Structure 1
Amino acid sequence: MKIGFIGLGTMGRNAAANVRRAGFDMVVHDLRAEAVAPLLAMGAEAGTDPADVLARSDVVVTMVFGPKEVAEVIRGSRGFLSGDPAGKVWIDMTTSSPFLMRDLAAEFETRGGRAVDAPVTGSVDAAIRGDMPMFVGGDDAVIERVRPVIEAMGQLRKVGAYGNGYVAKLVNNQLWKIHAAAIGEAMVTAKLAGLDPLTWWNVMKGGAADSFVLSHDVPSIFAGHYDPSFPIALCLKDLGLIKELMDAVGTTATLTEATHDRFREAGRRYGAGAGEMTVCKVIEDDAGIDLRVEGDWLKPWEVTRPA
């Protein structure tokens, strides 16, 4: 199989690099030339636009910012539907709307292609290592056909029919964002009450309050960079999609809306490019305290891939 890859951002470029390392011939495309260059250095070919990438690939992977961008890849003047999708498999890893994506997949399949959704979770270090969990939806036979491509990037977790991957990703991020916001309140409360932040973190891990966010992301608060590899702009995009999903199914959204408000405040204060955990800095700054902890805290984007 020759693999196309469109969208070489923080997560996408590392996922694409792992596909190339697995030995697949590749054609890649991104709106930024500097994003394409590292893949070309690994032996990939450059595609001029989505239609060109599709024409030169058996399987094409997309991982772009959000719904607007992925719709352009499919329906744009040089999108997939301007070419011939017959016989091709499209794997989308974008965090997007399940409603839009089911429509786009139906249009792609009407033209003879097959679609698989595979949004990812974990941080950029998981993308670098190639072990990020992937919520994979679609026909079992099609998933098995592209399993080697998916497993080159991460862990395949089946979620049922096409579109369920987007649902799984959104509710995953819902819990992630709520917990991130709550961590700020807990850390500040603990320090103001006399509990050292590093001691607090060490005793929380492994207990009922533990989570990936607590174990993985609190060191970014200690370091003071708040993890800019996942910026507030993406958090707000995801929270908007989560709200859209909850409104559609009629779910009570009290905690999610409060979390969304906190992330909006972080964006207003620190900018859309600030790291995700600045949602905790809001509480920290309001309390007038500093949660920095001395130490050589690993930056997720500096993880090296195992040989």
Structure 2
Amino acid sequence: MDVSATASPRRRITFIGLGNMGAAMASRLVDAGHQVTVFDRRPEAAEPLVALGARSATSVSKAIVGAEVVMTSLPGPAQVEALVVGDSGLAAGMQPGSLFVDLSTNSPEVLEGLASALAERGIRCLEAPVSGGAQGARAGTLALLVGGDEGLLDEYSGLLDPLGTVIHVGGIGSGNVAKIVHNLVSLVSVPILAEGFTLGVKAGVKAPALLEVMLAGAYGQGQVLKTIIGKVIMSGDFSQMTFGLDLARKDVALATSLAEAIGVDMPLSKLAESMYVRALEEGLEDLKSVAVWALQEQAAGVVVRREGE
């Protein structure tokens, strides 16, 4: 797909890390008309990019010569840190005034340290961990969770657009905090869904029917994120909730009782039930079924609201 209509000026970009995600993102940048030099420890990984018009370098030090922007897509913090501050690393070889953009899922603490080390050499830094998988990388529909100076992002306006939707989260490190939270919620939802589906199937409901119900119901319609969190929690107006705390506790108890009766182990559901019981014991009925959210806010010592709410 040709994405050369991007508003960003053509730039000299070095892209390091050509795995499934990196190769797809690098190809989008080539298609956008940028002058892209690629590097990967596996020389064969660069071949498809070269066929598209990219240049291939045989070392990191050669790859970054003359680069205005250096982007990395690597497995994790250790690899990024070694690349930036190691012997003959990016901090030593990138030109002052250039921009480093880490697209990896990284440690916020590591990112802050790297940004500081780069700044000492006059090199600017943004983080942009991505979400959307290899398919999204190929299609240019990723979510890019950008952390760093907003003015710097504005200066490079359009640079990341070929990759997907750019969301400025906050200062350096905040992009990876957001990515960590996103991945946590996504991954932890799998075992609780597994508890529910195994309960239903063992109780005699066909799996396709359960899936149809989940997709058609309030959960599948996105009401947790869009309404409960997006409207009720973010505003702090819990009076919008109509589903009572006692009813929520009752429904979870019905599930755990059924599980016990038919022999389905559901540790996460039991933990959730204990939170609803605790909310009732603490007299949080006025907060309705989202009282368990308030319990977590109390434990964390923060409230989750829009600014000014």
What is residue 131 of structure 1 aligned with on the other side? 141
Q: Is the 1:64–1:94 contact (alpha carbons within 8 Å) kept by the matching residues of 2?
A: yes
Q: Is the 1:49–1:79 contact (alpha carbons within 8 Å) kept by the matching residues of 2?
A: no
Q: Equivalences for 1:59-208 in 2 at 5 Å?
A: 59-208=69-218
Distance 1:207 1:175 in 2: 20
Equivalent residue pairs, number: 215
The verdict on how the C-alpha distance between 1:211 and 1:95 changes in structure 2, with shifts beyond 3 A counting, is farther
Where structure 1 has 5 or more consecutive residues not aligned to the other structure, the ranges are 213-253, 259-307
1:200 Cα deviation from its structure 2 partner: 1.6
Distance 2:116 2:107 in 1: 14
Give CA deviations for 1:166-189 in whole Å, capped at 9, x if unaligned. 111111111011012222222222
Which of 60, 64, 72 is residue 54 of structure 1 equivalent to? 64
Structure 1 range deviating more: 176-185 or 164-173: 176-185
Distance 2:41 2:218 in 1: 44
Percent identity of paired positions between Structure 1 and Structure 2: 32
SS of residue matched to 2:199 = helix
The verdict on how the C-alpha distance between 1:138 and 1:38 changes in structure 2, with shifts beyond 3 A counting, is same
1:140 Cα deviation from its structure 2 partner: 1.6
Q: Equivalences for 1:291-306 in 2 at 5 Å?
A: none
Q: Larger Rg: 1 or 2?
A: 2
SS of residue matched to 1:148 = coil
> Relative contact order: is structure 1 or structure 2 higher (C-alpha 8 Å, sep ≥ 6)?
1
Q: Is the 2:28–2:140 contact (alpha carbons within 8 Å) kept by the matching residues of 1?
A: yes
Distance 1:211 1:179 in 2: 16
Normalised by the length of structure 2, the TM-score is 0.66
What is residue 237 of structure 2 aligned with on the other side? none
Letter in 2 for 1:123: G
Q: Equivalences for 1:25-44 in 2 at 5 Å?
A: 25-44=35-54
What is residue 17 of structure 1 aligned with on the other side? 27
The verdict on how the C-alpha distance between 1:197 and 1:150 changes in structure 2, with shifts beyond 3 A counting, is same
Give CA deviations for 1:219-247 in whole Å, capped at 9, x if unaligned. xxxxxxxxxxxxxxxxxxxxxxxxxxxxx
Distance 1:163 1:156 in 2: 16
SS of residue matched to 1:31 = coil
1:163 Cα deviation from its structure 2 partner: 1.0
Give CA deviations for 1:97-155 in whole Å, capped at 9, x if unaligned. 10011000111111011100100112221111101111111112211232322111111
1:211 Cα deviation from its structure 2 partner: 8.2
Give the aligned CA root-mean-square deviation in angstroms: 2.0
The verdict on how the C-alpha distance between 1:131 and 1:211 changes in structure 2, with shifts beyond 3 A counting, is farther
Where structure 2 has 5 or more consecutive residues not aligned to the other structure, the ranges are 1-10, 223-266, 272-309
Distance 1:26 1:9 in 2: 16
Runs of 4+ in 1 over 4 A off after TM superposition: none
